[in-house]
Amino acid sequence: MVRLVRCTVLLAVDGVTALNRGSDPNRRGRQGDTMDSSAFFAYARERHSIHLRRSAGLPRDEWTQDAILREYRFCNIFRELDTTTEWFAHHVRTPLRDSPDVLLATALFRWFNRISTGEAVFLNRMRWDDHDGTAWEHLVRTGRIDPVRRAILAHCGTGPYVTGSYIIKTMDGVDKLSGVLLAITRFMRQSRAVAPGSVLDQGEMSRMLLRERGQHALEFVWRWLTLFPYLGHFMAYEIVTDLRHTALLDQAPDILTWANPGPGAERGLNRIMGRDVRKRMSRQVLLEEMQTLLAQCTDPANWPSDWPAWEMREVEHTLCEFDKYERVRLGQGAPRQKFRSTR
Cα–Cα nearest to 5, from 218, 188, 279, 220: 220
pLDDT at 234: 93
Res. 27: pLDDT tops 90: no
**Burial code of 306-317, b = ≥16 C-beta within 10 A, e = fewer?**
ebeebbbbbbbb
Q: How far is CA 1 from CA 105, 148, 196, in A?
A: 26, 35, 8
- Give the number of residues written for the chain: 343
pLDDT one-digit tens code per residue, 33-53: 788 999 999 999 999 999 999
Radius of gyration of the chain from its Cα atoms, rounded to whole angstroms: 21
Tell me the pTM: 0.87
pLDDT at 173: 84
Question: Averaged over 55-70, what is the pLDDT?
Answer: 96
Res. 213: pLDDT tops 80: yes
pLDDT > 90 in the chain, percent: 79
pLDDT one-digit tens code per residue, 301-343: 999 999 999 999 999 999 999 999 999 999 998 877 677 665 5
Backbone φ and ψ of 133, nearest 5° = 170, 180
Q: How far is CA 332 from CA 36, 197, 322, 324, 337, in A?
A: 20, 49, 13, 9, 16
Residue type, 310: W
The four Cα atoms 302, 27, 291, 49 give a dihedral, to 10 degrees, of 10
Alpha helices in 215-330 (DSSP H): 218-225, 233-243, 263-273, 283-296, 312-329
pLDDT at 153: 97
Long-range CB pairs of 272-280 (<8 Å, 24+ gap) are 272/35, 272/36, 272/37, 272/39, 272/40, 272/319, 272/322, 273/29, 273/33, 273/34, 273/35, 274/33, 274/34, 274/36, 275/29, 275/31, 275/33, 277/323
pLDDT one-digit tens code per residue, 146-204: 999 999 999 999 999 998 766 677 778 889 899 999 999 999 999 999 988 899 999 99
> What's the pLDDT band for 131 if we cut at 50, 70, 90?
confident
Cα–Cα nearest to 268, from 317, 197, 312, 213: 317
pLDDT > 70 in the chain, percent: 88
Backbone φ and ψ of 332, nearest 5° = -100, 0
